């Protein structure tokens, strides 16, 4: 049976705040999420925007907001993104020196009735975050090094997705597997078949002549 998945369109290729708002409006009703790539140069070598822009996007559109915090020690900022309207807040495992604090922040996000995500970089083995997967709503697999749109997927990450999917099935867990990095029409079916539930797309959808068709291709309905 053909798997239909959700699509989160990323803001990463867009460098103008008004264009992000316009893109959010265009994508609402077509993509399930706007994937807000939040970077502040202390985790990756790029600076994007913060919760103030997320609040503007939320007040200007109806699309659900998938906030991916690529920042070190983000604990103090999480409540700001929740108050700004985030539907998902995803934290990087590598961004916390104190892993107990990571566990507490994930609990806090869930307590606020927001989906709690944990992300791992390509170099981080799944076994390192396995304990957190039990309490997470989303496990976000980075298919590329975070920080730049338009990269090609590291093919070793397909094995990681398969491992996470087996773990999920074996333990009867309900978290969603999300994949971010190099997603396009060439690998979308493979990722769906491996068990990915949410495909993040930056350049592929944004640069497509027919964005709505590109979303349907990723979902698996065209």
Per-residue pLDDT of the chain (222 residues; tens, 9 = 90+): 577 899 999 998 898 899 999 999 999 999 999 999 998 877 766 788 899 999 999 999 999 999 999 988 889 899 999 999 999 999 999 999 999 999 999 999 999 999 999 999 999 999 999 999 999 999 999 997 765 555 577 678 899 999 999 999 999 999 999 999 899 999 999 999 999 999 999 999 999 999 999 999 999 997
How deeply is 87 buried, as exposed, middle or buried, from its count of CB atoms within 10 A (0-12, 13-18, 19+)? Answer: middle
* pLDDT tens-place string over residues 2-59: 778 999 999 988 988 999 999 999 999 999 999 999 988 777 667 888 999 999 999 9
> Which residues does residue 38 pair with via DSSP β-bridges, in sequence order?
69
Instruction: Please report which helix (H) or strand (E) contains residue 38, including its range.
Output: strand 33-39
pLDDT value at position 214?
Answer: 98
b/e map 16-45, b = 16+ CB within 10 Å: eeeebbebbeebeebbbbbbbbbbbeebbe
Q: What is the pLDDT of residue 15?
A: 82
Residues catalogued as catalytic: 37, 180
pLDDT at 123: 92
Residue 155: per-residue pLDDT: 77
């Amino acid at each position: 049976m053909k798997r239909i998945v959700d699509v989160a369109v990323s803001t990463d290729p867009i460098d103008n705040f008004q264009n992000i708002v316009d893109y959010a409006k265009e994508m609402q009703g077509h993509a399930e999420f706007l994937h807000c790539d939040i970077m502040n140069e202390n985790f990756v070598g790029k600076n994007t925007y913060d919760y103030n822009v997320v609040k503007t996007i939320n007040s200007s559109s109806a699309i659900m907001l998938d906030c991916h915090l690529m920042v070190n020690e983000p604990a103090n900022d999480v409540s700001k993104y929740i108050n700004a309207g985030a539907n998902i807040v995803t934290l990087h495992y590598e961004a916390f020196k104190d892993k107990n604090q990571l566990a507490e922040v994930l609990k806090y996000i869930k307590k606020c009735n927001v989906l709690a995500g944990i992300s791992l970089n390509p170099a981080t083995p799944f076994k390192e975050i396995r304990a957190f997967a039990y309490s997470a709503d989303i496990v976000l697999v980075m298919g590329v090094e975070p920080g730049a749109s338009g990269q090609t997927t590291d093919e070793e990450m397909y094995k990681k997705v398969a491992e996470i999917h087996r773990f999920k099935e074996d333990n009867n867990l309900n978290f969603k597997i999300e994949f971010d990095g190099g997603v396009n029409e060439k690998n979308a079916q493979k990722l769906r078949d491996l068990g990915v539930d949410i495909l993040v797309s930056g350049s592929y959808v944004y640069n497509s002549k027919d964005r709505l068709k590109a979303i349907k291709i990723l979902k698996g309905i065209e």
